[in-house]
């Protein structure tokens, strides 16, 4: 199959034009493509530009993508032919990308072409599972836990817990950028604490970004000394209740825990897709 029959790559002069064309396509797989809304918002707020493009086939978008400030290529859910076409396009334009991120099938299809002829394929790959739940379905028969919005007066605790969260991640996360995101969540009223009588604050979590119909749950944290008491479950219940109260239909979250007894499996969240980040 020729590259042309695999699709046409359409690029855009600005992100507004890209998103105006791509938003309907991205919404068709909202959970898998949820990062696009955050990335585009942050780029527009900062005034930064980025390469962005859609692959069209028979007049319809079959793939959306953009290059992040980090040098990584963000891919939407898309078919294999469109991903192969984009990889050939990137090679022809001599892209200097640091890696690729997106749904696992998209990443693997793109990388299979991008790494052709490379003697030693890179091994640095991070994997996550994207989960989702309908707020209405989750809350049916459940009374959502009441949570307390984190106020600026409680910031020292939130900052300390965010740093612990970053350090406990495998591999550890860059704490300063995570603290910055947590502070932004607090200022938007999207950071919450679970408090229990006789215990005090015992869990923290919130919404780090949103799509048109969903909130993405971030930074679900319970201090080590308080784990095993069901506080994580109560926190999630409260967050889903908060999302519903704010008019969202669904909740999305990323989990890098691949072991048994995953909290989100036990709570009835649905596994959507593996999401990964592959460095080059």
pLDDT for the residue 260: 86
Residue 202 contacts residue 223 (beta carbons within 8 Å): yes
The answer to whether the bond into 115 is cis (omega within 30° of 0) is no
**Longest Cα separation, the chain:** 68
Buried b (16+ CB within 10 A) or exposed e, 147-169: beebeeebbeebeebbbebbeee
Helix residue spans in the chain (DSSP H): 15-27, 35-46, 80-92, 104-114, 135-139, 155-168, 175-187, 231-245, 263-266
219 strand-pairing partners = none
276: nearest Cα among 27, 35, 30, 105: 105
Q: Which CA distances in Å does 133 have to 122, 136, 249?
A: 34, 9, 9
pLDDT for the residue 6: 74
What CA–CA distance (Å, rounded) separates 144 from 149? 15
What CA–CA distance (Å, rounded) separates 112 from 108? 6
What secondary structure does DSSP assign to 155-172, as a single string? HHHHHHHHHHHHHHSSSP
pLDDT for the residue 259: 82
pLDDT for the residue 224: 97
Residue 59 contacts residue 157 (beta carbons within 8 Å): no
What CA–CA distance (Å, rounded) separates 1 from 11? 22
pLDDT for the residue 4: 55
| Cα angle 5-6-9, degrees, rounded to a multiple of 5 | 105
240: nearest Cα among 232, 230, 250: 250
Tens-binned pLDDT, residue by residue, of the chain (280 aa): 455 557 899 999 999 999 999 999 999 999 999 999 999 999 998 888 889 999 999 999 999 999 999 999 999 999 999 999 999 999 999 999 999 999 999 999 999 999 987 767 666 889 999 999 999 999 999 988 999 999 999 999 999 999 999 999 888 899 999 999 999 999 999 999 999 999 999 999 999 999 999 999 999 999 999 999 999 999 999 999 999 999 999 999 999 888 888 999 999 999 999 999 999 9
Q: Which CA distances in Å does 151 have to 37, 156, 165, 184, 220?
A: 26, 10, 19, 12, 18
What CA–CA distance (Å, rounded) separates 148 from 186? 11
């Amino acid at each position: 199959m020729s590259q042309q029959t695999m699709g046409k790559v359409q690029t855009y002069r600005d992100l507004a034009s890209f998103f105006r064309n791509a938003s309907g396509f991205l919404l068709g797989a909202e959970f898998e493509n949820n990062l696009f809304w955050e990335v585009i918002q942050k780029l527009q707020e900062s005034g930064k530009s980025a390469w962005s493009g859609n692959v069209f086939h028979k007049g319809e978008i079959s793939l959306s993508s953009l290059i992040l400030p980090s040098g990584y290529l963000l891919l939407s859910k898309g078919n294999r032919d469109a991903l192969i076409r984009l990889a050939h396009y990137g090679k022809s334009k001599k892209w200097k990308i640091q890696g690729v991120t997106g749904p696992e099938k998209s990443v693997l299809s793109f990388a299979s072409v991008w790494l052709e002829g490379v003697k030693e394929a890179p091994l640095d790959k991070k994997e996550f599972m994207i989960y989702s739940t309908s707020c209405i379905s989750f809350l049916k028969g459940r009374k959502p836990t009441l949570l307390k919005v984190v106020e600026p007066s409680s910031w020292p605790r939130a900052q300390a817990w965010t740093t612990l969260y970053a350090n406990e991640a495998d591999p550890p996360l860059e704490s300063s950028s995570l603290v910055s995101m947590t502070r932004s969540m607090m200022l938007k009223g999207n950071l919450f604490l679970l408090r229990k009588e006789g215990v005090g604050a015992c869990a923290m979590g919130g919404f780090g970004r949103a799509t048109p119909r969903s909130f993405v749950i971030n930074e679900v944290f319970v201090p080590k000394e308080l784990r095993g008491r069901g506080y994580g479950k109560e926190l999630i219940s409260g967050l889903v209740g908060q999302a519903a109260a704010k008019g969202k239909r669904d909740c999305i979250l990323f989990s890098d825990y691949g072991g048994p007894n995953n909290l989100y499996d036990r709570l009835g969240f649905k596994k959507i897709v593996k999401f990964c980040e592959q460095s080059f």
